[in-house]
Structure 1
Amino acid sequence: MNWQHAIKDYQMYLKIERGLSKNTIISYTKDLEKLYSFITENNIVNTPVTIDAETIKLFIYDVAKKVNPRSQARIISGLRSFFDYLIFEDYRTTNPTDLLETPKIGRKLPDTLSQEEIDLLISAIDLSHPQGERNRIILETIYSCGLRVSEAITLKISDLFFEEGFIRVLGKGNKERFVPIHQEAQKYVSIYINQIRVHIKPQKEYEDTLFLNRRGKALTRQMIFMILKKLASDIGLHKKISPHTLRHSFATHLLQNGADLRAIQQMLGHESITTTEIYVHLDRSYLKEVVETYHPRK
């Protein structure tokens, strides 16, 4: 079995057997391709079946010079999964990553925006621009529903259940969830559909896609990043933000206003409550305020 064949089979396994998203599969594939490039550049004669722990260690040492510990940990995790797959398929009997030590990394708490900063960002959108209304509702929807950027750009018109007050979201691993959408966001979506999108001719396969570019195709993740980056610059916001910042702010603001962590977990689409706890960090001043407000012996 050569590397190209093994990687292709692994991609199919991740898609069909594990139901992982396209972006996750791309990430796993890139890490395997890095390993293959390392082997080729160093004239190491190894196949996925014969590669040993020493070669993997040399690769990780090389990677450590170029990426941070968090990325190293992700690469090691991806390689471990790949070789576990080969064992599962009876191509190998051992996993060469078993003795690798994963770099210790602390919990990285995502940045968050205040409600005022969210309002400033959205109000800075130029609504006279042809794509202004569309950009406003994209950001409003991501923040109002706590969506991942990939979930927002793949949202479909048939996913809107406004009478019930929900939207249907297809999350990681093609897992479906229903998320509440408040009336203000519903109003903006309706304006966009009836007054803006109606003048765009969707290309084939994008007829049901909610957010379209001028050519009638779905927006890209990069485009949403660029929209946010420009808005942050326009209002003089000196924070490194991304669409995920809006998602994290959604969760943080809900928790600060008394929402239950389990409910937030369901809306974010997290399998584990531990993941939600990482995303929804609270500063010490807020914790102190909670104790002073709700503790029986305050």
Structure 2
Amino acid sequence: MGAFDLAAQCARFVDYCRDIKSLSSNTLDAYAQDLTEFRVFVGLQTERDFSGELMGAYVRWLREERELSPATVRRRIACLKAFFKWAKEGRALPRSPFDDTAIVVRIPKRLPRALSRQQVREVAGAVGAGPDRAMAEAGGAGQDPCDWRATTYLAVCLMLATGIRVGELTAIRLKDLDPDCTIINVSGKGSRDRTVFLANAGLSAALRAYVGRRMRLVVPDDLLLRNARGRPLTPQALRIRLRKLGEGLAFSQRLTPHRFRHTAATILLEEGIDIRYVQRLLGHSTISTTEIYTHVTDISLRQALERADVVARVGV
């Protein structure tokens, strides 16, 4: 390795990503985790030359010893490619091990896992004994904005209405809302800001009432959603709440915030919304990302075929 101090260079790279590239805190945390794992692997090796062979061995170690998923392995390698490119450009290393090494981590293609409409209603019922009552409680005059049911139901409705990511949701501040609570300014992934709209009058009314009580809380920040202690609701806390809800409802697949994003996109497309509008709503940089949602469910396919009834229409 010569004079190359791996630990120090990793720390400098994370600082560079924060101070120069202005990457999000989630991305910085992921990079730090990825680089720490690579340092652990390097510490286990007798040959520590940064070569293509070492990178190949690292991929095998991640797969076979760490038993990581293909998606996680690919993220680890993407981080290393960025790190070694930065080190080479800064002359900390004469070359990158990826200069003449093609490492491709293939991920099995799978469709997004959307919730059925019945499952969405079951989630709503679990946090509010039915949609009507849940909406009333989320915006009711006497409801505490720190109450976990009201906050969870509001979070679920906002994710379903806008397809917003969990990190974007928990980062919403009071200043991001218009007075009528029909427009939300979202700080998106990759520093791409966008505007989303709430088309449901009941949800907007509930959000206005929630904001009114939230503003009476004496707290040092203006983040919208709160936990039971009045502190900002974190993405991880919301994930835990949803996971427990899914387990309680005996869902076969884990209930996650991202499944509401998938559900929002799928329902919008099933209802005939132009894919370009869905792309803008979700904050996708390219329409090819949005196209993964254009699959149709078996139920939608059956309903469409029943409406068309080709055999009856041709009279055979």
CA distance, structure 2, for counterparts of residue 136 and residue 112 of structure 1: 18
CA contact (8 A) 2:180 2:208 kept: no
Residue number in structure 2 paired with 1:23: 26
1:252 aligns with 2:266: yes
* Aligned partner letter, 2:183: F
CA-CA distance at 1:292 after TM superposition: 8.7
Describe how 1:42-53 pairs up with structure 2 within 5 A.
Answer: 42-45=45-48, 51-53=50-52
Residue number in structure 2 paired with 1:190: 208
CA contact (8 A) 2:70 2:105 kept: yes
1:69 aligns with 2:86: no
CA distance, structure 2, for counterparts of residue 291 and residue 258 of structure 1: 16
Among all aligned residue pairs of Structure 1 and Structure 2, give the percentage whose two residues are the same amino acid. Answer: 26
CA distance, structure 2, for counterparts of residue 143 and residue 251 of structure 1: 9
Q: 250-259 or 88-97, which moves further after superposition?
A: 88-97
* Aligned partner letter, 1:250: A
Q: What is the number of residues matched between the two proteins? A: 290
CA distance, structure 1, for counterparts of residue 283 and residue 300 of structure 2: 25
Match of 1:241 among 255, 266, 272: 255
> 1:287 and 1:77, CA in 2 relative to 1: closer, same or farther beyond 3 A?
farther
CA-CA distance at 1:168 after TM superposition: 0.3
Alpha-carbon deviations, 1:39-93, whole Å to 9, x = none?
Answer: 11335545xxxx2222222222211112122222222222112111122223334
CA distance, structure 1, for counterparts of residue 124 and residue 181 of structure 2: 26
CA distance, structure 1, for counterparts of residue 306 and residue 89 of structure 2: 54
CA distance, structure 2, for counterparts of residue 193 and residue 199 of structure 1: 9
Gap runs ≥5 in structure 1: none
CA contact (8 A) 2:115 2:259 kept: yes
* Aligned partner letter, 2:209: I
CA distance, structure 1, for counterparts of residue 207 and residue 285 of structure 2: 29
CA-CA distance at 1:210 after TM superposition: 0.3
CA contact (8 A) 1:160 1:168 kept: yes
Residue number in structure 1 paired with 2:168: 151
Normalised by the size of structure 1, how large is the TM-score?
0.86
CA distance, structure 2, for counterparts of residue 220 and residue 264 of structure 1: 26
CA distance, structure 2, for counterparts of residue 251 and residue 192 of structure 1: 26
Q: 209-218 or 97-106, which moves further after superposition?
A: 97-106
SS across alignment from 1:179: strand
CA distance, structure 1, for counterparts of residue 60 and residue 248 of structure 2: 42
Q: 283-292 or 100-109, which moves further after superposition?
A: 283-292
1:89 aligns with 2:106: no
Q: 264-273 or 217-226, which moves further after superposition?
A: 217-226
SS across alignment from 2:196: strand
CA distance, structure 2, for counterparts of residue 132 and residue 194 of structure 1: 17
> 1:281 and 1:83, CA in 2 relative to 1: closer, same or farther beyond 3 A?
farther
Describe how 1:114-193 pairs up with structure 2 within 5 A.
Answer: 114-126=116-128, 130-163=147-180, 165-182=182-199, 183-193=201-211
CA-CA distance at 1:286 after TM superposition: 3.8
> 1:37 and 1:228, CA in 2 relative to 1: closer, same or farther beyond 3 A?
same
CA distance, structure 1, for counterparts of residue 148 and residue 298 of structure 2: 40
Residue number in structure 2 paired with 1:37: 40
CA distance, structure 2, for counterparts of residue 241 and residue 82 of structure 1: 34
* Aligned partner letter, 1:61: R
CA distance, structure 1, for counterparts of residue 255 and residue 91 of structure 2: 45
SS across alignment from 1:167: strand
